[in-house]
Each structure stands twice: as C-alpha cells, then as structure tokens.
C-alpha cells in the first residue's frame, strides 16, 4: 500500500515528515498479509540475516543472531521525557523532552539512507475492542516487521478502525546506521553504539522514539513501550489499568471457571504459570496472556482484562518439557528464534532445554561450539536472554475467549517474588488497599552479588512494574487506590501474594512448584467462591493447614513452615520498607500505604 492511499490525513502528514527527515530509499505501508510476511522473511534470508531451520523439525522457523552489544533492553538508555522531571519520578531516567527531541532529530537525519522505510499500523488488543489501542510504527528493520506481525495485529483492518481521524500512538524506530552504496549488514542486524541508543517516551504527547537498537523490547514498540510505559499513563488519565501481568483461566472439576491476573518480577515463573499443567485431577488451566494485561471496568462494575498482544516473546534458556511443556509445543513451527544455539541438522538448542547438546553446535555469536560439562567457565551456546517469538494461537492451552474484545472478568490478582524465607506460600489481602500495599512491596532476593547489591538483600520491584511505569510510582500507587473507589469491594478482584521459592535453612526447596502450584490456585479459586478455609493473621488471610492439598514429598512439617507467619522476619521486613523502600517515593507515597504499614506493624506487635 502507498502512503498517498491512506485516508487519515494526520497519519499521512506524520509519515511524510519522517520521510523528509530520515531519507529512505522508498516507503512501504504494511498490510499484515501472509504474503508480506513471507516476502520479508525471504529478504532477510537472502541478506544472510535469517537462517531457515530444519523444515521437518521446525517448519516455518528462522534463526537470527544480533550484534553482541544488542541483546537486551537497555534500561539506562530508556527515558521518560515528561515535561516535568517530578512526573517521571525517582525510578525512571528523565531527560528534558525538548532537548531530547533535538538530539534525536539530529540522529534521525538521513538515518535510513540506503534502507527501506516500513510503516506498521498495529492494534494492541483485538481489532476494534473498546479496550484496545492503535499504534503506528515507522521502522527500517525487516526483523521488526516480522516480529510485529507475530506480536500484534497488523495491517489494513487496523487502518479501517483508525478511519479518517482516529487516535494512534506514533512510534519512530531506526536501527541507526545508514547504508553506503553496495554495503550490507553482514548477516547481523545493525545497531548504534550504546551512547547513541535512545528508547524515549513522551507521555504528554503519547509518542515513542527509538534509535540505535534492533532488540525486541527496544525496537518492537508495541511491546513494553506502548503496552506499558505509554499505556500506563493513558490508563491513569482514563481510569483503567495497564499492567505487567499474565492472565489465566482456571476451571474446577465442576466446570466453573475463574480468571486470574498475576505480576511477578523476571525469573519468577510468569510464563510457566500462564501455561500451567495442573497436577490436581479434574482441574484445568488455560492461557489468556503471558505478559501484559489491560483492565477496564465493565457495565457491571467489574474489571475486565484483555491481553493486548497476539504472540509470545519468551526467554528460551530454561524452557523445557518439564518447566513449560505448553511453551515448547507453541514454538514447534512458525517461530522466530533469536540468539539461541543451532545444531548441525538446523534445530535449536539452549541451556536448560532438558537434554545435552547433540554434537557440534553453532553458538549465538556464530562460532562452532561443543558442550564441555567439565568446563564451568564455558561460554553458553545461547545468550541467557535468547528469545522465541511465536503466535499465541499456536499454544495448545489458549483459552477460547483469549481474543474476546470485551475481555474476561478478573476474579483475583496475584503478586509474587523469589523469597527463600519470611514470605509464606500464599496469603490474601484483607481488602483492596491492603492488596495495593502488597503490590507496592514486591521484591526478589538477590542470590549473587549483582547490580551493586549484596547477596541476600531484597531488590524491590513494585507491581513488577519498576522498569515499565511511565510516570511517578507514588502517583501510580495512588492510581491503584483510586481504582478501588470506582466500584464496590465485592466487585473488585481479591488480591493475593504467592511465593513458590521458600527454602529450608540448608537451602532445599520446601515447595516443588511448576504444576503443583495448581494446588495454591485451587485455594485461591475457593477463596473467590467464599468456600476456601482460612485464618486471619497479622499479614492477611492464610490457608488453614488442611486447606491446600499437600503434594507428594511435602511433609506436614514442611506445610506448617510454608504457612507460618514469621513474626520476627516480618518485623524486619516492615522496618526495611519503612527505612529503605517507601522513602524513595517522597511526598507522593500515598498516606493510605503509610497507614497500612503502621497497621500491620501494630498487628505484629500484638
């Protein structure tokens, strides 16, 4: 499709301005068709940037390798450029929006010389849903185009909904390296050096400008940039929630279903929970989404959630048939693999896939690699943040209603982190504000010295949103409290805190996790139904010792430890929140959360 054919005059003007600034060879408006996807893939294969995988083992699958400097989100180059620095808050990087746009405009000038410009109209959420939002990404990366095809709904149907004057979020992206005549990208996507990478968000004008990186979260601008950083600001202004949460459907043996959203920091099993295979007979779990939930109030006063994405952008290392069989089945075909190892017969391999490397591999840097288990210092075959991009429809346990434009009614919200002690297996908030308090203190223990934190300290990640909230987190907590005032307490989701990661004093796991987590979900289901057995404790409602079916290998003594309130441990936890965590948010921390802290401390003293 040509730019001149677009009906939306504002969109047309914006594209023409970008063309004048970036000076591409030509411009192509994406239609979202299979033919378009196939043509892009062919181009990438012909250029050496994509390697087709074994069609017998991985039909329709391709492997990409990035520049070693461009393998993950660059948080220290990610900016919230609000007009006032105070609006960005203490947990975001801020730059003045006027100065930042000047800097980036200079970088964009001529940056697409020798390259094609692609215009990607995309919908976050089912096309036409009242919870969905439209974005348009301009990019010079075919890798971005094919990934956006999988991760979002792309093309003409989006333009039809946009019409002549609909709202969209403009997203500018360039890999940041013009091509000289006859020059190629040498089989790896190009990128700019770190000091020239910018992933910039302008909350007031609802714009995203990204330069210098080809990696997923920095370049697929529908993902974290629109779906969380910009959407969280829109949600605050419009009175809904844009959250870093999975959505699952759980059905009991009687055929009754409930919907649960859950927010965990990274490496806490979010995708595994979204695709859980329950170990309790008769129970079923299905996936609505594995990463992001947008929740709006329905006419009945309940919150309804959609998954704004159409695919999975998952971490490959550690994914295997035991940890997540449904993810493994989702990536058997039509999947893009990035920075994994490749076997001699052109299949994929990564650390934690569940079996040894089958002979000689090509590692993620393109070098020959042979597994040496005796060499602890051996570089991995797959980058630790290696990824797969797969269509969600391929997951064998997608809930039939995962694309319902009205969303699904949320019965429960879970928070969790990796905590070897203190935090019990599960506890339930006394009310909505107490639940917001629980979300505000989410954290995981640092297991090795990293990021200037010593092992054993807690890295707090409130609501698992710390890298993704587009405004001041104190205001974000207040927004959550205000959401609770928009309806009656009985219509709000119940809030729980879970911790699958408890250990004994000698470092053994107390709880087996994975499919056994369904036993905790069953109790949460019963609590939402008003039937689950619980006791009132200083930190919230907790299951009675017999309320959760014990898995094999977990003793009654283990269960007592998992469900005990560690009074002294919680007193230290409260002190840490009071002295180190809450003061970060200054005068914007809502009084309700200080009051909640005082109330829990009093209950613990008793």
- Residues classed as catalytic: 268
- The C-alpha atoms of residue 302 and residue 409 are separated, in whole angstroms, by 7
Which residue's structure tokens are 């602890």? 376
**Residues across the chain:** 606
- The C-alpha atoms of residue 219 and residue 307 are separated, in whole angstroms, by 20
- The C-alpha atoms of residue 576 and residue 573 are separated, in whole angstroms, by 5
Closest CA to 570 of 595, 578, 436: 578
- Contact yes or no for 16/2 (Cβ under 8 A): no
Torsion angles phi and psi, residue 558, rounded to 5: -60, -45
Q: DSSP readout, 138-183?
A: EES-HHHHHHHHHHSEESHHHHHHHTTT---EEEEEE-S-PPPTT-
Torsion angles phi and psi, residue 345, rounded to 5: -95, 20
Q: Helices (H), strands (E): how many in the chain? A: 16, 31
Where do the H-state alpha helices sit in 486-530? 518-529
Beta-ladder partners of 199: 78, 210
Which residue's structure tokens are 């910039």? 200
Burial class of residue 214, CB neighbours in 10 A (0-12, 13-18, 19+): buried
- The C-alpha atoms of residue 30 and residue 507 are separated, in whole angstroms, by 53
Q: What is the CA radius of gyration of the chain?
A: 24
- Contact yes or no for 153/17 (Cβ under 8 A): no
Per DSSP, 398 falls in state B
Q: DSSP readout, 468-498?
A: T-SS-HHHHHHHHHHHTTSS-GGGSPEEEEE
Distances (CA, A) of 569 to 92, 166, 435: 30, 53, 20
- Contact yes or no for 352/346 (Cβ under 8 A): no
- The C-alpha atoms of residue 198 and residue 81 are separated, in whole angstroms, by 11
- The C-alpha atoms of residue 417 and residue 108 are separated, in whole angstroms, by 40
**Backbone torsion region of residue 318, taken as left when φ is above 0, otherwise alpha when ψ lies between -120 and 50, otherwise beta:** left
User: Roughly how many angstroms between the first and final C-alpha of the chain, as a whole number?
Assistant: 70
**Residue 584 in tokens:** 């970060």
Per residue, what are the HEC states of 531-570?
CCCEEEECCEEEECCCCCCCCCCCCHHHHHHHCCCCHHHH
- Contact yes or no for 198/211 (Cβ under 8 A): yes
**Residue 572 in tokens:** 């230290």
């Amino acid at each position: 499709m040509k730019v001149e054919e677009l009906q939306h005059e504002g969109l047309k003007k914006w594209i023409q301005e970008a063309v004048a600034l970036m000076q591409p060879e030509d411009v192509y408006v994406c239609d979202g068709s299979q033919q378009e996807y196939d043509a892009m893939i062919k181009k990438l294969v012909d250029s050496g940037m994509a390697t087709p995988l074994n069609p017998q083992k991985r039909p329709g699958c391709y492997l990409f390798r990035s520049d070693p400097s461009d393998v993950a989100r660059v948080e220290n180059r990610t900016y919230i450029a609000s007009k006032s620095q105070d609006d960005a808050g203490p947990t975001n990087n801020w730059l003045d929006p006027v100065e930042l746009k000047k800097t980036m405009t200079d970088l964009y000038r001529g940056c697409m010389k020798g390259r094609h410009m692609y215009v990607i109209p995309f919908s976050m959420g089912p096309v036409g849903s009242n919870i969905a939002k439209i974005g348009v990404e301009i990019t010079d990366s075919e890798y971005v185009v094919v990934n956006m095809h999988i991760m979002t709904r792309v093309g003409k149907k989006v333009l039809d909904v946009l019409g002549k004057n609909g709202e969209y979020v403009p997203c500018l992206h360039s890999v940041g390296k013009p091509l000289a005549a006859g020059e190629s990208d040498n089989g790896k996507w190009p990128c700019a050096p770190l000091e020239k990478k910018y992933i910039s968000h302008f909350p007031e004008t609802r714009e995203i400008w990204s330069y210098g990186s080809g990696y997923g979260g920095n370049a697929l601008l529908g993902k974290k940039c629109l779906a969380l950083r910009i959407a969280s600001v829109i949600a605050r202004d419009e009175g809904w929630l844009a959250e870093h949460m999975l959505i699952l459907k759980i059905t009991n043996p009687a055929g009754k279903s409930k919907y649960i959203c859950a927010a965990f920091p990274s490496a806490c099993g979010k995708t595994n929970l979204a695709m859980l295979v329950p170990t309790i007979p008769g129970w079923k779990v299905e996936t609505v989404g594995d990463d992001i939930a947008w929740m709006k109030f329905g006419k009945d006063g309940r919150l309804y959630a959609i998954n704004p994405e159409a695919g999975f952008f998952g971490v490959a290392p550690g994914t295997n048939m035991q940890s997540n069989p449904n993810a493994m089945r989702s990536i058997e075909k039509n999947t893009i693999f990035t920075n994994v190892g490749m076997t001699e017969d052109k299949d994929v391999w990564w650390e934690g896939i569940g079996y040894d490397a089958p002979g000689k591999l090509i590692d993620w840097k393109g070098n020959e690699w042979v597994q040496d288990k005796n060499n602890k210092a051996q570089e991995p075959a797959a980058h630790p943040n290696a990824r797969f991009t797969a269509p969600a429809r391929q997951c064998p346990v997608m809930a039939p209603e995962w694309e319902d434009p009205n969303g699904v009614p949320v019965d429960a919200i879970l928070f969790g982190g990796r905590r070897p002690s203190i935090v019990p297996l599960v506890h339930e908030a006394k009310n909505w504000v107490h639940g917001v308090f629980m979300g505000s203190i989410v954290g995981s223990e640092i297991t090795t010295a990293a990021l200037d934190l010593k092992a054993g300290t807690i890295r707090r990640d409130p609501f698992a949103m710390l890298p993704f909230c587009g405004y001041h987190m104190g205001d974000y907590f207040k927004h959550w409290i205000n959401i609770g005032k928009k309806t009656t307490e009985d219509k709000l989701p119940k809030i729980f805190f879970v911790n699958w990661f408890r250990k004994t004093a000698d470092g053994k796991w107390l709880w087996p996790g994975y499919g056994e987590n369904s036993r905790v979900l069953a109790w949460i289901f019963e609590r939402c139904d008003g039937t689950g057995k619980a006791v009132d404790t200083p930190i919230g409602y907790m299951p009675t010792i017999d309320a959760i079916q014990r898995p094999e290998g977990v003793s009654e003594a283990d269960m007592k430890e998992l469900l005990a309130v560690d009074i002294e441990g919680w007193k230290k936890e409260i002190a840490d929140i009071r002295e180190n965590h809450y003061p970060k948010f200054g005068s914007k921390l809502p009084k309700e959360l200080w009051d909640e802290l005082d109330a829990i401390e009093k209950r613990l003293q008793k």
